[in-house]
Structure 1
Amino acid sequence: MRILFLAPQPFFEARGTPINVRNMVTALSELGHEVDLLVYPHGDNVDIPNVRIHRVIRIPGLGKAPIGPSKEKVIYDAAMMIHAFTTLVRGKYDAIHAVEDAAFMAWPLSWLFGVPFVFDMDSIMSDQLRYSRFMRDGFLLKAFERMESAALRSASMVITVCGHLTEAAALRVDRSKIFQIEDTPMTGAPPPGLAVEKLRAELGLPEGCEPVVYTGNLEKYQGIDLLLDSAVEVAREHPSVRIVVVGGSGADVEKYKAKAGAMGLGANVVFAGPKPPETMPTYYELADILVSPRIEGTNTPLKIYTYLDTGKPVVATDLPTHTQALNRDVAMLARPEKMEFARAILLLLNDKGLRRALGDRGREYVRSNFSYASFRKKLEEAYKHIR
């Protein structure tokens, strides 16, 4: 099958959606499909067998599209629509695979060219608009919801990444069209001990400190403010603790670094900044505890599967974004309040045996339920229903 895969994202970047896109096109390629991947002009070049990467034109004076809704995204989506149209004029495709807002491109293109399209639903976009406050007018939000529903109904197939999204989609389309394909961990080979010690020295971590590691962007919905508020309480009992924050744009890193300093956490919080994917296993190995303090959203963060696969204990907020994938047998779940989140971290810092047991159970759970082989098999079954 020849597939036009529309991913309106900078590609490649080491964060949730671009990683999921890479997994998806890699699996499709391994299953024997021919994939043309159309993405934004920004991002790192990667080689994926049997996948041709095409980039929309870089628009002078327009910067990289940030995470979430933005004027840059609107403009680059328009450019992607034009590029996709000309691509379909030039060649014959068997399916259009549309990630998130690309569904609004695939919907009319599917009708124009008679090509079935897949709606790859990684979130509820109308909810994203509400959270970001990018669109505040109630009438416009309702209109967007109706468009989102119409696109779902027009799709030949809907792929979701978690149970909450499956239930949301099922309110709008028949369940027979919905295929839930959870993300899969991306940890890489364990690093040698010397690499971890070198990283510890580079970060300036003192001997005997207890690293609590967060990875991901520093957008508000990720709960970085909650993490810092909790760190104050943790540091009172464990002055040697170090919260290592990996990821985020330069501006966000500086903003939160200043906030941490003002809170008296200058010695306890280390901002490593964004790092390439190949270095992440070393950060995971460095950690005594991995945290996900997310406070908004409904889709499960991809990093949760990777966290579990490391065998390190996980602390996450007790919200549907996490609980549809996690339970108290494999992770420490805490209400999104500073004292509760701090208490969960402290419980693990004070009990090495609990850390080891929780980490072991988490690894066994994710490898039994969310392996790459399982991910690829689910995708293979879903694509049999393209019509």
Structure 2
Amino acid sequence: MKILYICADFGIPVLGTKGASVHVREMVSALNRAGHSVVLAAPKLQKVLWEKPEEIAGRLLHLPPAPISRETMKCLMEFEDMLGETSPLPGQIRRMLYNKEMSHQLLRHFTAHPPDFIYERAALFSTVGVMVAEALAKPLILELNAPLADEQSLYRGTSLGALAKKTEQFVLNRSEAVLTVSSLLKNYAVSAGAKPTAVHVSPNGVNIQNFQTKTATEETKATWELGSGPIIGFVGGLRPWHGVMALPKLAEQLHKNHPDLKIVIVGEGPLRMRLQNEFEARGCSKNVLFTGAVSHENVAALIPTFDIAVAPYEKLEHDFYFSPLKLFEYMACGVAVVAAEAGQIGEIITQGRTGLLYAPGETTTFIMHCERLLSDPRLRKEMGQAAAKEVRSNYSWDHNASRVISIFKTLKKQERPL
């Protein structure tokens, strides 16, 4: 089949290292492995030009915004700067202008030779998938990874909150099928206008070819100077909701019984400086490694070096809609996991068999679980093996790609109303 994959989100550099970037590339790769032809259309390839771009399996159609959009955004930013103000408005206006630009370019490319269906990763203010699908009379399968309008309002602020919400409702209602990454997000999608029978749950997954359970780790440990002691690792963005500020206390407490313990933090984010200062204040900085942002290939090499992998999410003021990519990658590598029991995490991990769970924000229990695993190598091994079996059997990107094709086949005989 021929599939047009749209990612109109300026916040997702499709050749970059962000989790969302990985998700896009892995879905494209899985669809290609299944024998389908995929074209990925996106406005942004990399966040930083100095970074080596990640490889992608399908065809890539780079569609940067037109000069008029860039100039409009620049004028709005200059106006705000003159007033000594900053807001999300310039970026939001750019997103809205880009809908028409991207849809026109896609129709120019695909009107004569259309895809069998369109797959779009939902993005704030994006109506591109709906516009192109209706013009080509092809089904639209929408992938929803978060309650976008609510998330923007809560974490980043929005000048056009009501319009963002209306756009989300419009797109959900006009999609033939909607894939959500969790059950809670499915409920949200239905409440926001998606047809209940059109919504399917499809959790994140892992590339089981790249994330192996018995990978030799000596070379990676030597490269990163990890030493021979036990390692507790974290992968992800250094942001408040990831719970990373629990790590300094964890290190301080565990070093009492495990002085050669290493904390490895794989990722980058705005809390890095604060984290470094907190480790320093607790006297643990020499036993902590910040790798910064690394390639997905390096993530796959680093995780097997962990004795314990953690996902210490904080208690949020809203439902935990997400499907943490790190969780599936930890488990696929056969590493024992300690995670906050938030949202889908409690559905993926079986307490005491494939990982250890604790209530979000309960730092004492978090530390206790890590201590228990550090003191019991046999339990770590058994738990890691059970976790790997669970994830590798049920949560691969290939499974997700197969689900997408199955959904399309159920839509194939339905004609899109003109």
Normalising by structure 2, we get a TM-score of: 0.79
Shift of 1:259: 3.1
Match of 1:65 in 2: none
Which deviations, in whole Å up to 9, do the C-alpha atoms of 1:63-83 show, x marking residues without a partner? xxxxxx956753663464213
Match of 2:340 in 1: 317
Shift of the 73–120 alpha-carbon distance from structure 1 to 2, 3 Å rule, reads: farther
SS state at 2:141 partner: strand
Unaligned runs of 5+ in 2: 47-51, 75-86
Residue 3 (1) aligns with residue 8 (2): no
Residue 333 (1) aligns with residue 357 (2): yes
Which deviations, in whole Å up to 9, do the C-alpha atoms of 1:41-61 show, x marking residues without a partner? 342545544523324249599
Which deviations, in whole Å up to 9, do the C-alpha atoms of 1:104-128 show, x marking residues without a partner? 3323444455443221111111331
Unaligned runs of 5+ in 1: 63-68
Q: Is the 8 A contact 2:15 2:55 kept in 1?
A: no
Match of 2:201 in 1: 180
The one-letter code matched in structure 2 to 1:274 is A
Match of 2:62 in 1: 54
The one-letter code matched in structure 1 to 2:402 is K
Residue 13 (1) aligns with residue 16 (2): yes
Q: Matches of residues 247-258 of structure 1 in structure 2 within 5 Å?
A: 247-249=267-269, 252-258=271-277
Which deviations, in whole Å up to 9, do the C-alpha atoms of 1:150-181 show, x marking residues without a partner? 32111111012222222322444333212322
Report the Cα distance in structure 1 between the residues aligned to 2:61 and 2:92, rounded to whole angstroms: 21
**Count of matched residue positions in the alignment of Structure 1 and Structure 2:** 373
Match of 1:106 in 2: 129
Shift of 1:279: 1.8
Residue 196 (1) aligns with residue 220 (2): yes
The one-letter code matched in structure 1 to 2:59 is V
Match of 1:35 in 2: 38
- Aligned equivalent of 1:261, options 277, 280, 305: 280
- Aligned equivalent of 1:239, options 259, 262, 268: 259
The one-letter code matched in structure 2 to 1:239 is P
SS state at 2:3 partner: strand
Shift of the 85–219 alpha-carbon distance from structure 1 to 2, 3 Å rule, reads: farther
Shift of the 150–57 alpha-carbon distance from structure 1 to 2, 3 Å rule, reads: closer
Report the Cα distance in structure 1 between the residues aligned to 2:190 and 2:95, rounded to whole angstroms: 27
Shift of the 116–197 alpha-carbon distance from structure 1 to 2, 3 Å rule, reads: closer
Which deviations, in whole Å up to 9, do the C-alpha atoms of 1:171-207 show, x marking residues without a partner? 44333212322222234455434313413xx33x444
Residue 303 (1) aligns with residue 312 (2): no
SS state at 2:154 partner: helix
Percentage of matched positions with identical amino acids: 21
Q: Is the 8 A contact 1:36 1:54 kept in 2?
A: no
Report the Cα distance in structure 1 between the residues aligned to 2:148 and 2:304, rounded to whole angstroms: 35
Shift of the 142–321 alpha-carbon distance from structure 1 to 2, 3 Å rule, reads: farther
Match of 2:95 in 1: 77
Report the Cα distance in structure 2 between the residues aligned to 1:227 and 1:302, rounded to whole angstroms: 19
Calculate the aligned-residue CA RMSD, in Å.
Answer: 2.9
Match of 2:49 in 1: none
Match of 2:80 in 1: none
SS state at 1:311 partner: coil
Shift of the 19–50 alpha-carbon distance from structure 1 to 2, 3 Å rule, reads: closer
Report the Cα distance in structure 1 between the residues aligned to 2:56 and 2:285, rounded to whole angstroms: 42
Shift of 1:317: 0.6
Moved more, 41-50 or 362-371: 41-50
Q: Matches of residues 122-161 of structure 1 in structure 2 within 5 Å?
A: 122-135=145-158, 141-161=161-181
Moved more, 263-272 or 142-151: 142-151
